[in-house]
């Protein structure tokens, strides 16, 4: 028997929300699907593999929304939850590649301390999907244009969705240095934030990869978590004489050799290896990397960036272009899960408030 998409399309109107939560979060057998949804009669009429059925349900037939959120990690999901609770018809477009996907555990987030990033994101998406006005599209947004009534967003697969307002929760892309082993260890034992991971490597042999003012300031900062510190300048030191003296007085060594590679086991660093063949044992390394915006659509639409390269927002998460908001790592150097959620919630609430006052005013003028 051939698969009947007409049956599926009509059925979606009645039980799409139930199926979304099941599909997105781990139900992958036909028996469990039937048990969860209570749709045994329908299942008997569609003798196909669940994977094919899932593909039909993943289709987003609706093309216009009040809000499109680009980016469905912590900040985007937080914005979606606020908008869902405000009854806003919202689409979340996400490519499923968060910047912390390699990180084994997340910390410093109340009720979720020690959970994996995937656990937090999965539970978050499951809870957001309970709101009937929230829709999801799995894909990469690649182009955005301003229209008479708002914005059009095009995905890499060719779909075009429109909305009156946008939220960018797109994150940033770290530019990994050309040091063997760095990429594989980034987010595991090569770290950017002591509040996220410093407790787990407290009192361990720790390195700082940096130079100049950054190297001095970050070495001073990380001395709160461990006294066993070495600053790797990866070439000639640009520290001032005073900075070098102050670090030396605190027992913080400075090594000017160029770093060739990081010896590691599954991302856990064991040695820093230098170009001259010598090496030094460490358990963790801190490094602040240059970055670029993960998504170019904000710049396409004219959104202003800060001197550091973040999307510029005000305290309400509004950007320089009307009807666009931004939140999360793409807007701030404070890269924590808790901060991303806070900013996303603010963006969702303030965007909805803007809608409410606009609609109220429009009604008065009728």
Q: Where are the domains of the chain?
A: 5-58, 64-174+291-364, 182-287
Residue 122 neighbours by CB under 8 Å, 6+ apart:
25
Tell me if 64-174+291-364 shares its fold with 182-287.
yes
Q: What percent of the chain has pLDDT over 90?
A: 78
The matching CATH number, chosen from 3.40.50.2300, 3.10.580.10, 3.50.50.60, 3.40.50.150, for 182-287 is 3.50.50.60
Q: What percent of the chain has pLDDT over 70?
A: 83
Beta-bridged to residue 168, according to DSSP, are: 70, 326
CATH domain 64-174+291-364 topology: FAD/NAD(P)-binding domain (3.50.50)
pTM of the model: 0.82
Tell me the per-residue pLDDT of 217-228, one tens digit each, with 9 for 90 and over: 999 999 999 999
Candidate ranges 14-23, 101-110, 239-248; pick with highest mean pLDDT: 239-248
Confidence check: pLDDT of 71 > 60: yes
The least confident of 10-14, 97-101, 283-287, 345-349 is: 10-14
Q: Identify the band that residue 102 occupies on the pLDDT scale cut at 50, 70 and 90.
A: confident
89: how many CB neighbours lie within 10 A of its CB?
Answer: 17
Interatomic CA distance for residues 239 and 232, integer angstroms: 12
State the average pLDDT for the chain: 87
Confidence check: pLDDT of 180 > 70: yes
Q: Identify the band that residue 60 occupies on the pLDDT scale cut at 50, 70 and 90.
A: low
Q: Identify the band that residue 358 occupies on the pLDDT scale cut at 50, 70 and 90.
A: very high
Pair of tokens at residue 252: 């913080």
Tell me the per-residue pLDDT of 188-204, one tens digit each, with 9 for 90 and over: 999 999 999 999 999 99
| Three-state secondary-structure class, residue 152 | strand
The least confident of 53-62, 153-162, 167-176 is: 53-62
Interatomic CA distance for residues 231 and 26, integer angstroms: 45
Interatomic CA distance for residues 17 and 22, integer angstroms: 9
Interatomic CA distance for residues 286 and 188, integer angstroms: 11
Confidence check: pLDDT of 366 > 90: no
How confident is the model at residue 9, as a pLDDT? 40
Under 8 Å between Cβ of 352 and 83: yes
Confidence check: pLDDT of 15 > 80: no
Read off the pLDDT of each residue in 69-83 and give the average, rounded to a whole number: 97
Confidence check: pLDDT of 250 > 80: yes
How confident is the model at residue 33, as a pLDDT? 43
């Amino acid at each position: 028997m051939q698969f009947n998409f007409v049956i599926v399309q009509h059925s979606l109107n009645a039980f799409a929300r139930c199926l979304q939560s099941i599909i997105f979060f781990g139900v992958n057998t036909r028996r469990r699907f039937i048990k969860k949804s209570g749709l045994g009669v329908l299942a008997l009429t569609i003798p196909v593999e669940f994977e094919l059925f899932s593909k039909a349900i993943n289709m987003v037939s609706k093309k216009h929304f009040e809000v499109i959120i680009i980016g469905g990690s912590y900040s985007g999901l937080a914005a979606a939850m606020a908008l869902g609770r405000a009854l806003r018809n919202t689409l979340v477009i996400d490519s499923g590649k968060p910047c912390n996907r390699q990180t084994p555990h997340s910390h410093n987030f109340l009720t979720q301390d020690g959970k994996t990033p995937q656990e937090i994101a999965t539970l978050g998406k499951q809870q957001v999907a309970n709101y009937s006005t929230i829709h999801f599209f799995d894909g990469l947004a690649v182009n955005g244009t301003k229209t008479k009534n708002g914005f059009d967003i095009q995905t890499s697969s060719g779909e075009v969705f429109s909305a009156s307002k946008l939220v960018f929760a797109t994150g940033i892309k770290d530019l990994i240095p050309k040091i063997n082993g760095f990429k594989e260890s980034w987010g595991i034992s090569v770290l950017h934030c002591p509040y996220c991971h410093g407790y787990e490597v407290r009192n361990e042999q720790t390195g700082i990869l940096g130079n100049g003012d950054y190297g001095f300031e970050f070495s001073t900062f990380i001395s709160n978590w461990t006294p066993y510190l070495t600053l790797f300048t990866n070439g000639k030191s640009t520290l001032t004489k005073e900075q070098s003296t102050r670090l030396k007085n605190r027992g913080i060594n400075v090594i000017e050799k160029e770093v060739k590679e990081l010896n590691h086991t599954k991302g856990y660093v064991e040695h820093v290896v230098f170009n001259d063949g010598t090496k030094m044992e460490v358990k963790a390394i801190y490094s602040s990397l240059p970055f670029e915006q993960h998504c170019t659509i904000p710049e396409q639409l004219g959104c202003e960036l800060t001197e550091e390269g973040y999307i510029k927002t005000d305290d309400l998460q509004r950007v320089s272009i009307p009807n666009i908001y931004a939140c999360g790592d793409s807007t701030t150097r404070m890269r924590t899960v808790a901060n991303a959620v806070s900013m996303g919630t603010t963006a969702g609430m303030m965007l909805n408030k803007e809608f409410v006052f606009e609609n109220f005013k429009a009604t008065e003028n009728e």
